[in-house]
């Protein structure tokens, strides 16, 4: 039996976080301030996501943790072990078998279901921050729905680069009301945000939680004559052959040789296993 | 058209122990449409003062100034502005313009303020500038660098480009040579025959004799010195 | 035209016992330019900021002829309403261009921002309008992607004007628009302002300490001293036949060139 309360946080803290989550779900895309706790990991390492997961987990849950799509990076392993120790929940690498998935910077390729929850780790929750440094002013802009500045940013991109250059953390408009930063997921993943699962976003250092209930309308910002494109490398995965998954570019030798592989490791291995089965 | 009655004016110089300087007492005159009336009198007698009061540039302490249906004395700023735009023209002795504006546009301004199409306004400006012998090469330049006579002609062009029902002229032929003087007198005759009421100050007696129907001596309105 | 565009009544602003401005009332009609002159500390900028909604006055009303709802007291408007007003029907040209521009955004972005703020979503159209407006304020099209930090003071000021006028406001507030500019640059700016005011049928309230500016730009004039309006009327009348002692002093103090 662990010396910790279930999932590390005390019950009062969980209540506070759950209230913030409920508020976030009631106002999709709105950033709810919350009293972020000190966690046994530094800021910038997913404390927001961990606190949201900790408040959401129940003993029957099956947890999956991915970092840039992979289950086997240092951070994914650390966080998974953290919850194994403090919550004792089952863990899995298979997306389809998880009931709660904590992710950094990717949405799984497999379509998520209504009985699943996706928890995102968020560094900077405020999409307007780079153009308007004042928190007082950005709060007003959200409250008054003054989002002209967001399009100024996109305008600047097009005038400088000929296209909207933002390739990750691409801003979206939720239910026609709030403009939201989807966390640094590649823009390729933006269309997936209209999904059946509950999506929760936690920013520990910035102390904000926001949320999207199932089937929420999420539209990526663009111009009529420069429409949004969910683009990826024009390649198939060199390991499993998938043509429609987001790819990582991997340098394999000192001559600059490279391969492209699915960033979602579970997706890739499942496809490879399936191919082997069919071949057998 | 222009009726001045019992017009009285003082200047109060607050910064010189509030000295009160009366300059006009019970001035009256009446100008009908098609008439040109000259103001005469010694230098300093009040000719320009009276003209400025008619234009609303100086305030009156008492009396009335009727231009058509509008009494300039006590009129609101808005009413005077629209009076000056539509009814009352004024050719002063000095040309005051925004630097950098082309002569053509300076002259076209009164028409543009009335909403006349800019290209038509400029065409009419060019016509009257030609009439006044301002050469074409000067039309694009700002008049601020012109000679005194040229500036005077630009001033006159601006005053006559629109057919004001009432016109005030302060020394319109000063600094002009014989050729241009007769052009200006011709413009005044034309204005009269279309029914404009004109008040003018002319030092040049022959010009005065040629276009003016009557003379009013403003010394009659000077305050009595005890 | 039966009512003024702007009807200001009894505006007052106090700083403790000190008067910022007191008891100021006037109306402004479409197409009119009102100048407010006075020396430093006269209260003219305080008055402008109270009317424009940047400062909260302690008393008074500011009725504006909104297109939809007729005359409304802008001081009683909700914040979203007032902010929308200041993005569409009103414009404010600051003395220092950097207070009225986004210095880290390109010239085109600065001009296009107000359009995007009211829903413009076609990049090509936005850019075309920005180019058109830059041309009207005599900034070359080639500078559209440059940041204002690369512009001269006069250019920054002209950019500020373009940024403000692109949505076709009906009322423009200007606080010392030619302050700090070289004399030749001032002339160019005044000329530009005059023609824009006339072409667009704008009404404007211009605060300045420079009597030459009001003579050229303003139809009507208010002279302020120690927070009060001491004289008001037609610009040329107030300057040529000043009645109040202070106005006489002000006019006689201007250096002739």
C178 to chain B: which residues are within 8 Å by CB?
none
ipTM greater than cut 0.90: no
pLDDT tens column, C74-106 = 999 998 888 889 888 999 999 898 899 999 999
Q: Is B216 exposed, middle or buried (0-12, 13-18, 19+ CB in 10 A)?
A: buried
pLDDT for the residue C221: 96
Residue B223 has pLDDT above 70, yes or no: yes
Residues in chain A, overall count: 280
Residue C1 has pLDDT above 80, yes or no: no
Mean pLDDT computed over B98-103: 82
Mean pLDDT computed over C187-197: 83
* Owner of token pair 């996109």: A154
pLDDT for the residue B56: 94
pLDDT for the residue B225: 64
pLDDT for the residue B96: 78
Mean pLDDT computed over C95-120: 92
Mean pLDDT computed over B196-211: 91
Task: Tell me the percentage of chain C whose pLDDT exceeds 90.
Answer: 63
Neighbours of chain B (3+ CB pairs under 8 A): C
pLDDT tens column, A151-208 = 998 999 999 999 998 889 999 999 999 999 999 999 999 999 999 999 999 999 999 9
Report yes or no: C235 and C208 within 8 Å, Cβ to Cβ: no
Q: Is C156 exposed, middle or buried (0-12, 13-18, 19+ CB in 10 A)?
A: buried
A260 touches chain C (CB under 8 A): no
C103 to chain A: which residues are within 8 Å by CB?
none
pLDDT tens column, A103-142 = 999 999 999 999 999 999 999 999 999 888 899 999 999 9
pLDDT tens column, A10-28 = 999 999 999 999 999 999 9
Element at C6 (helix H, strand E): strand C6-15
Element at C135 (helix H, strand E): helix C123-136
B99 touches chain C (CB under 8 A): yes
Residue B226 has pLDDT above 60, yes or no: no
Residue B152 has pLDDT above 80, yes or no: yes
A226 touches chain C (CB under 8 A): yes
Mean pLDDT computed over A239-267: 93
Element at C238 (helix H, strand E): helix C235-240
A73 Cβ contact list (under 8 Å, min separation 6): A67
First to last CA, chain C: 41
Do A and C touch, counting CB pairs below 8 Å (3 needed)? Answer: yes
pLDDT for the residue B92: 87
B79 touches chain C (CB under 8 A): no
How far from A198 is each of A24, A58, A220, B91, CA to CA, in Å? 11, 16, 19, 79
pLDDT for the residue A11: 96
Element at C35 (helix H, strand E): strand C33-37
Tell me the pLDDT band of B194, cut-offs 50, 70 and 90: very high
Q: What does the CA dihedral C44, C50, C51, C52 come to, rounded to 10 degrees?
A: 100
Q: What gap in Å lies between CA C178 and CA A124, rounded to an integer?
A: 41
Mean pLDDT computed over C44-52: 94
CB contact (8 A) between residue A151 and residue C116: yes
Q: What does the CA dihedral C150, C155, C159, C165 come to, rounded to 10 degrees?
A: 180
Residue A144 has pLDDT above 80, yes or no: yes
pLDDT for the residue A270: 94
What ranges in chain B are assigned the alpha helix state H? 47-55, 77-86, 103-113, 118-131, 148-160, 178-193, 205-211
Task: Tell me the percentage of chain C whose pLDDT exceeds 70.
Answer: 98
Q: What gap in Å lies between CA C36 and CA C48, rounded to an integer?
A: 9
pLDDT for the residue A1: 52
List the single range of A87-96, A237-246, C120-129, C179-188 with lowest mean pLDDT. C179-188
CB contact (8 A) between residue C234 and residue B14: no
Tell me the pLDDT band of A2, cut-offs 50, 70 and 90: low
How much is the mean pLDDT over chain C? 90
CB contact (8 A) between residue B81 and residue C243: no
Tell me the pLDDT band of B219, cut-offs 50, 70 and 90: confident
C106 to chain A: which residues are within 8 Å by CB?
156, 159
A136 touches chain C (CB under 8 A): no
Min Cα–Cα distance to chain A from C5, Å: 26
pLDDT tens column, B34-82 = 999 999 988 877 899 999 999 999 999 999 999 989 999 999 998 999 9
pLDDT for the residue A224: 95
Q: Is C234 exposed, middle or buried (0-12, 13-18, 19+ CB in 10 A)?
A: buried
A148 touches chain C (CB under 8 A): yes
* Owner of token pair 């222009």: B2
pLDDT for the residue B100: 77
How much is the mean pLDDT over chain A? 94
C191 to chain B: which residues are within 8 Å by CB?
98-101
Instruction: Write the residue in B59, B77, B98 that is nearest to C241 by C-beta.
Output: B59
The catalytic residues of A are 29, 237, 240, 262, 268
Mean pLDDT computed over A212-219: 97
First to last CA, chain B: 36
Q: Which residue of C has its CA nearest to A225?
A: C122
Tokens matching residue B170: 């302060």
pLDDT for the residue C61: 95
- Residues 167-226 on C with a CB inside 8 Å of B are 187-188, 190-191, 194, 198, 215-216, 219-220
pLDDT tens column, B109-129 = 999 889 899 999 999 999 999
CB contact (8 A) between residue A159 and residue C124: no
Do B and A touch, counting CB pairs below 8 Å (3 needed)? Answer: no
Tell me the pLDDT band of C255, cut-offs 50, 70 and 90: low
């Amino acid at each position: 039996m662990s010396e910790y309360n279930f999932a590390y946080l005390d019950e009062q803290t969980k209540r506070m976080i759950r209230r913030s989550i409920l508020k976030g779900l009631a106002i999709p895309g709105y950033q709810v301030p919350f009293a972020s706790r000190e966690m046994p990991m530094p800021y910038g390492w997913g404390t927001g996501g961990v606190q949201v997961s900790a408040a959401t987990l129940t003993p029957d849950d099956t947890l999956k943790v991915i970092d840039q799509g992979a289950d086997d990076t240092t951070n994914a392993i650390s966080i998974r072990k953290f919850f194994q120790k403090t919550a004792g929940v089952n863990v899995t690498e298979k997306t389809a078998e998880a009931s709660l998935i904590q992710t950094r910077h990717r949405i799984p390729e497999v379509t998520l279901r209504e009985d699943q929850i996706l928890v995102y780790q968020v560094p900077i929750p405020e999409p307007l921050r780079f153009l308007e440094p004042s928190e007082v002013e950005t709060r007003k802009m959200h409250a008054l729905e003054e989002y002209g500045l967001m399009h100024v940013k996109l305008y600047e991109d097009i005038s400088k680069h000929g296209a909207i250059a933002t390739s990750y953390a691409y801003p979206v408009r939720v239910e026609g009301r709030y403009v939201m930063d989807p966390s640094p997921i590649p823009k390729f993943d933006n269309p997936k945000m209209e999904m059946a699962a509950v999506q929760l976003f936690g920013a520990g250092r910035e102390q904000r939680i926001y949320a999207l209930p199932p089937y929420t309308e999420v539209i990526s910002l663009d111009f009529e004559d420069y429409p949004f494109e969910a683009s990826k490398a024009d390649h198939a995965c060199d390991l499993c052959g998938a043509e429609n998954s987001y790819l990582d570019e991997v340098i394999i030798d000192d001559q600059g040789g490279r391969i492209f592989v699915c960033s979602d490791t579970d997706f890739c291995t499942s496809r490879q296993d399936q191919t082997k089965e069919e071949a057998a | 058209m222009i009726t001045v009655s019992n017009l009285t004016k003082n200047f109060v110089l607050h910064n010189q122990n509030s000295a009160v300087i009366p300059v006009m007492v019970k001035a009256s005159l009446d100008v009908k449409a098609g008439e040109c009336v000259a103001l005469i009198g010694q230098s300093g007698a009040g000719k320009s003062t009276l003209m400025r009061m008619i234009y609303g540039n100086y305030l009156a302490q008492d009396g009335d100034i009727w231009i058509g249906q509008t009494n300039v004395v006590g009129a609101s700023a808005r009413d005077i502005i629209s009076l000056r735009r539509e009814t009352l023209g004024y050719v002063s002795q000095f040309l005051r313009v925004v630097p950098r504006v082309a002569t053509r546009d300076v002259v076209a301004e009164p028409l543009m303020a009335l909403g006349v199409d800019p290209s038509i306004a400029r065409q009419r400006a060019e016509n009257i500038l030609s009439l006044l012998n301002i050469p074409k090469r000067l039309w694009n330049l700002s008049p601020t660098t012109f000679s005194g006579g040229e500036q005077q002609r630009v001033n006159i062009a601006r005053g006559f480009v629109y057919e004001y029902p009432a016109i005030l002229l302060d020394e319109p032929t000063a600094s002009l040579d014989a050729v241009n003087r007769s052009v200006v007198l011709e413009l005044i005759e034309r204005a009269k025959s279309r029914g404009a009421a004109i008040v003018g100050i002319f030092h040049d007696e022959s010009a005065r004799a040629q276009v003016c129907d009557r003379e009013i001596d403003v010394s009659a309105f000077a305050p009595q010195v005890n | 035209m039966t009512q003024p565009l702007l009807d200001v009544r009894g505006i007052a602003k106090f700083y403790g016992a000190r008067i910022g401005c007191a008891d100021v009332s006037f109306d402004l009609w479409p197409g009119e330019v009102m100048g407010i002159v006075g020396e430093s500390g006269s209260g003219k900028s305080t008055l402008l900021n109270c009317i424009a909604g940047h400062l909260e006055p302690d008393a008074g009303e500011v009725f504006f002829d909104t297109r939809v709802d007729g005359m409304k007291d802008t001081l009683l408007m909700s914040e979203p309403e007032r902010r929308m007003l200041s993005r569409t029907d009103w414009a404010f040209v600051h003395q220092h261009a950097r207070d009225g521009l986004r210095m880290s955004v390109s010239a085109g972005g600065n001009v296009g921002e107000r359009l995007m703020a009211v829903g413009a979503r076609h990049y090509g159209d936005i850019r075309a309008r920005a180019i058109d407006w830059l041309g009207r304020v005599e900034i070359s099209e080639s500078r559209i992607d440059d940041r204002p930090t690369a512009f001269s003071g006069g250019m920054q000021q002209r950019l500020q004007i373009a940024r403000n006028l692109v949505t076709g406001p009906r009322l423009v507030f200007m606080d010392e628009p030619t302050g700090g500019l070289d004399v030749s640059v001032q002339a160019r700016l005044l000329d530009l302002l005059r023609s824009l005011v006339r072409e667009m049928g704008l009404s404007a309230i211009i605060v300045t300490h420079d009597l030459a500016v009001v003579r050229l730009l303003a139809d009507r004039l208010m002279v302020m001293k120690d927070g009060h309006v001491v004289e008001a009327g037609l610009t040329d009348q107030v300057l040529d036949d000043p009645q109040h002692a202070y106005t006489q002093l002000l006019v006689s103090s201007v250096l002739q060139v």
